[in-house]
C-alpha cells in the first residue's frame, strides 16, 4: 500500500479515536455524572463502538506499516537508538497502555456500571483520552 494511502487511513483513524474520546470525556461523561444517568454512557458506547474499535484496529495496522518505514522490523524501536526509534517505541507502549485500560473498562466496569461507579468510569475515560492525545502528539513529532 502506498505511503499516502497509509497516512490518510492513519489520520482518518486518529480523528475517530481521538475525536470520539474527546466528545465522550467533555460532553457525554459530565452530562451522565450530573444526571447520575448510566444510560447516556451506554447509548454513546453502543453507537461509538461500531466505528471506534475498527478505527483502533486501522491505527495498529497502518501504524506498524508506517513505523516499519522508519524502523525496519519495528521491534528494533526498543533499542531507543535515536529520536525516531524512541518515538515509535513510546507509541507502542502507549498502545499497550490503551489496550489494558480500555479492556479493563469495557470488560469489567461497563458491564457492572451503576450511578455510584460513574466516577470510576470517568477516570478511565480521562486516562484513555490522555493516551489517545499522547499517541497523536508522538505521531506529529515523527516529522515535526
Ligand atoms: C490510537 C492510536 C494512534 C493515533 C491516534 C495516532 C495518531 C497519529 C497522528 C495524528 C500522526 C501524524 C501523521 C502526520 O504526521 O501526518 C501519526 C503518525 C505516525 N504514527 Fe500514529 N497514531 C496511533 C497509533 C500508532 C501506532 C500503534 C503506531 C505504531 C508504532 C503508530 C506509528 C506512527 C508513525 C510511524 C507515524 C509517522 C508517519 C509519518 O509521518 O510518515 N501510530 N500518528
* Contact in structure between 141 and 87 (CB atoms under 8 Å): yes
Q: What does the pLDDT read at residue 106? A: 87
46-74: b (≥16 Cβ within 10 Å) or e:
eebeeebeebbebbeebbeebbeebbeeb
Residue range 91-117, pLDDT digits in tens? 999 999 999 999 999 899 988 999 999
Q: What does the pLDDT read at residue 1? A: 77
How far apart CA 122 and CA 124 sit, in angstroms, is: 5
How far apart CA 76 and CA 85 sit, in angstroms, is: 7
**C-alpha 46 to ligand 1 mean position (Å):** 26
**C-alpha 32 to ligand 1 mean position (Å):** 31
How far apart CA 120 and CA 109 sit, in angstroms, is: 8
Q: Where are the domains of the chain?
A: 3-143
Q: Supply the Cα-derived Rg of the chain in whole angstroms.
A: 17
In the structure grid, which three cell numbers stand for residue 102, read together? Answer: 480500555
- Is residue 32 within 6 Å of ligand 1 at its C-beta? no
Three-class secondary structure of residue 24 per DSSP: helix
Across the 144 residues of the chain, what is the mean pLDDT of every consecutive 10-residue run? 95 98 98 96 94 98 97 95 97 98 91 93 97 98 90
Q: What does the pLDDT read at residue 27? A: 98
- Is residue 92 within 6 Å of ligand 1 at its C-beta? yes
Secondary-structure percent of the chain, ordered helix, strand, coil, rounded to 5 = 90, 0, 10
Residue nearest (by alpha carbon) to ligand 1 atom 35: 67
Q: What does the pLDDT read at residue 102? A: 93
pTM of the model: 0.96
Q: What does the pLDDT read at residue 58? A: 98
Amino acid at each position: 500500500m502506498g505511503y499516502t494511502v497509509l497516512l490518510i487511513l492513519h489520520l482518518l483513524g486518529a480523528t475517530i479515536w481521538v475525536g470520539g474520546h474527546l466528545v465522550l470525556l467533555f460532553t457525554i461523561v459530565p452530562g451522565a455524572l450530573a444526571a447520575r444517568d448510566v444510560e447516556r454512557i451506554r447509548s454513546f458506547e453502543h453507537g461509538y463502538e461500531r466505528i471506534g474499535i475498527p478505527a483502533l484496529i486501522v491505527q495498529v495496522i497502518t501504524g506498524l506499516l508506517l513505523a516499519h518505514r522508519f524502523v525496519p522490523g519495528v521491534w528494533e524501536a526498543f533499542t531507543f537508538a535515536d529520536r525516531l526509534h524512541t518515538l515509535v517505541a513510546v507509541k507502542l507502549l502507549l498502545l499497550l497502555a490503551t489496550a489494558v485500560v480500555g479492556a479493563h473498562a469495557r470488560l469489567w466496569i461497563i458491564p457492572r456500571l451503576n450511578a455510584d461507579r460513574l466516577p470510576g468510569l470517568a477516570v478511565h475515560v480521562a486516562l484513555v483520552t490522555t493516551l489517545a492525545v499522547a499517541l497523536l502528539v508522538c505521531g506529529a513529532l515523527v516529522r515535526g
